[in-house]
Chain A
């Protein structure tokens, strides 16, 4: 059912929310049909690749210094078995780390949303922990917990969880207190209000937090391999760099970008599944 058929049923009024109409207008002036939103960045990318190829070909750059896109592609294809194996290992760390980060965020944000003193003491520590570079933490984790995948996964999770934790916590706390009072008057317990009010309020922000996380969690996984792993894109890049195979380093970069973009796109699928009301609202604005 669309907004039109609903409004014709009853009394029409002027829409009250100025932000809603404002946003709708913005979407219109963007003129961004789905086609252009996908085509525009692709065209830009194609232009960049052509420029890069021409610069390398015409400028006579040593391929060890800067390989051309074509060379990156062909070398990558030749080494595809190695690349797939490495990508598989990295993907495993990435996805497990993602799960750890999501689980840790849910637990942390829930606890902190219920217990204010904990919020004041733990949140600054959490932020401080995020400021420790993974490159320093990783060797320590290896020393403390060994070479297995487990410590690396935990490390990737801890390092990447902050955006999600913060956005979740913020969402949980920003639920309308009047709505909470109303639900209490209807007989809802604190926990019920958490589930029926706070969680749905937090969902849109949490998905944004997750989206931010996907943009760097692959990098975190690659870094975690630098200090010790049998295979993975990080190991692969390091090896190829030592062999002066710059082209293969670039191939690995392309693969890691592809993984990151795929995860990023998946957050939109998740949003579509979890927020049916937002789905309808965006459809109505188009």
Chain B
């Protein structure tokens, strides 16, 4: 039986300022089971990043709660996140960038480098340990950032549009690779994206957010086994779901315009 890893119940977030209240999230309920790949998709400005920050425990919700293994999270963070920007430090080599999370949480530099060294080939970064970020291609930079996130060994991975800034081919290649990696390593992932095919291709479940203030407008289960190959992109399930999602997302766009 899979265990419930993280759940969010009725999350709401309002930012108050002199200009008035800004309701960003109104009622978000979702969950990630162990080993699951879950995506959250929504139109731009729907509060995806706010939700992300709350799940990363960087921001406290106005209402609602987060549970980890059924309890309120205590002290130790349960998630590691990968932001939109790769945020690689230009002064650190690949191995030190990837090991940053380990070193900052108290691992010795040498030990961190050893663990990164063991993982470089899994992340297709062989031979780059001593390279600086500016010497890498965009896809490699994202893989270093992902390695930095994964190696922290936290129960949940939070990915915020990790491939948004990449060109189409590189993005597709990374998606295929990520699908395999997550299945092989049994990673639990919550991905935030606005790329419909990406969400469908990678996930067990897709949550669709409405416009601001965001609620969960639709939940789409993706029962096809993972990892999926490129042929999944021409399956009936995929094309059907893609149309439904686009329908939903563009409709919510129309509702906002009204």
Contact = CB atoms under 8 A, between A and B. Distances in A.
B132 A277 contact: yes
Nearest to A11: B139
Given A186-B104, A196-B104, A284-B135, A179 B87 contact: yes
Interface string B129-160: 01110111111100100000000100000000
A186 B105 contact: yes
B167 interface: yes
Given A14-B167, A178-B83, A277-B91, A185 B135 contact: no
Contact of A277 (B87, B90, B126, B127): B90
A116 interface: no
Contacts of A12: 137
Interface in A185-212: 185-188, 192, 196-197, 200, 203
Interface residues of B, number: 40
A128 interface: no
Interface residues of A, number: 35
A13 interface: yes
Contacts of B58: 181, 185
A28 interface: no
Interface in A163-181: 176, 178-179, 181
A64 interface: no
Chain B, interface SS category: loop
Nearest to B90: A277
B165 interface: yes
B66 to A, nearest CB: 15
B106 interface: yes
A5 interface: yes
A260 to B, nearest CB: 29
Nearest to A2: B135
Interface string A2-41: 1101110111111110001000000000000000000000
B77 A9 contact: no
B125 interface: yes
Given A10-B140, A187-B105, A281 B173 contact: no
A1 B89 contact: no
Contacts of B89: 179, 197, 200
Given A3-B135, A277-B132, A284-B135, A178 B104 contact: no
A111 interface: no
B146 to A, nearest CB: 13
A230 interface: no
B196 to A, nearest CB: 22
A12 B166 CA distance: 11
A176 B124 CA distance: 28
B56 interface: yes
B179 to A, nearest CB: 16
A185 B56 contact: yes
Nearest to A196: B104
A219 interface: no
Chain A CB count within 10 A is highest, among B58, B85, B87, B165, for B87
Contacts of A1: 127-128, 130-131, 135
Interface string B103-122: 01110000000000000000
B230 to A, nearest CB: 16
B80 A187 contact: no
B40 interface: no
Given A181-B58, A186-B104, A6 B139 contact: no
Nearest to A184: B58
Given A14-B138, A179-B87, A277-B132, 20 more contacts: A3-B135, A6-B135, A7-B136, A10-B124, A10-B128, A10-B136, A10-B140, A10-B143, A11-B124, A13-B167, A15-B137, A178-B83, A182-B81, A182-B87, A185-B56, A186-B104, A186-B105, A192-B104, A281-B132, A284-B135
Interface of A: 1-3, 5-7, 9-16, 20, 176, 178-179, 181-183, 185-188, 192, 196-197, 200, 203, 275, 277, 280-281, 284
25 contacts: A1-B127, A2-B135, A6-B127, A6-B140, A9-B124, A9-B125, A10-B136, A11-B173, A13-B139, A13-B166, A14-B167, A178-B83, A182-B83, A185-B57, A185-B77, A186-B100, A188-B104, A196-B100, A277-B90, A277-B132, A280-B132, A280-B134, A281-B132, A281-B134, A284-B134
